Amino acid sequence: MHLDLLAIAAHPDDVELTCGGTLLKMAQLGYKTGILDLTAGEMGTRGTPETRSREAAKATKLLSAKWRGTLAVPDSDVQPSRQHKLRLASVIRELRPKTVILPYWEARHPDHYHASNLGYEGCFLAGLKQLPLEGEPYRPYKILYSTAYAAVRPTFIVDITAQYPQRHKAILAYSTQFGPKSGSKKSKVFLAIDRLEDQMNQLARHYGEMIGVKYGEPFLQKELMSVNDVVKLDVRSI
């Protein structure tokens, strides 16, 4: 299968939280979308790799993605090692995505910023003709960075107002992570996921307001954007 858009992230539920609405919107526009989880999330405090795999399958259907896979990188030890980069390059050659979404390269969680480097280098290596990998050399045309976790100004924001309810369902598909915690004692260890969903929803509202809509997802690209018609640019200035 050749994809139009592939989102790569460290753990199951990362894509849903950061760019799930955008993936769904692109699928609704007729594009073939996919998700690659680098790990199975086996180091998570809640849930098991098996339960999280079932949750990911449910979320994938809710986002209308055509493909989802796991690279089987050890959770809590995502590194841009040669071994992982070559495996990722093989996936890129197989799926041949035109656009790839990666996590932003700075983050609180080491797996997230290492995932960004691993994703970029894997995409680059996939295009080396002399690399001893199966498949034809290939590189994505565009690499985007999801900045939902990052305190940086995005390059652009995608309006996900229409997709927001379904994105919310996809996030809640991870019931081990975001479901009610009834009957359990409060952990003495800070768990970011205890307030993560609320934070991401607030951020979606914040970025939506920045472009004059209800909900949005932010992205950054390293290269400049090209504009052909300055009279028809979106988002009012005054």
User: Cβ–Cβ contacts within 10 Å for residue 168, how many?
Assistant: 19
CB count in 10 Å sphere of residue 137: 15
- Look at residue 191 in the predicted model and tell me its pLDDT: 43
- What percent of the chain shows pLDDT beyond 70? 92
pLDDT on residue 189: 44
Tell me the pTM.
0.92
| Buried-state track 48-66, b at ≥16 Cβ within 10 A, e below 16 | ebebbbbbbeebbebbbbb
pLDDT digits (tens, 9 = 90+) for 31-45: 999 999 999 888 776
Q: What is the 3-state secondary structure (H, E, C) of 141-184?
A: CEEEEECCCCCCCCCEEEECCCCHHHHHHHHHCCHHHHCCCCCC
Q: How confident is the model at residue 180 (pLDDT cuts 50, 70, 90)?
A: low
Distance CA 124, CA 102 (A): 13
Spatial separation of the C-alpha atoms in residues 175 and 132, rounded to whole Å: 41
The answer for residues whose C-beta is within 8 angstroms of residue 68's C-beta and 6 or more apart is 34, 35, 36, 37, 56, 57, 60
Q: Which domains does the chain have, with CATH numbers?
A: 5-223 (3.40.50.10320)
Q: What share of the chain is helix, strand, coil (3-state, %, to 5)?
A: 40, 15, 45
State the Cα–Cα distance between residues 75 and 73, nearest whole angstrom: 6
Residue type, 176: T
* Chain mean pLDDT for the chain: 91
* pLDDT score of 158: 98
Token readout for 29 is 């526009």
Q: Quote the CA–CA distance of 156 and 234 in Å, as a whole number.
A: 11
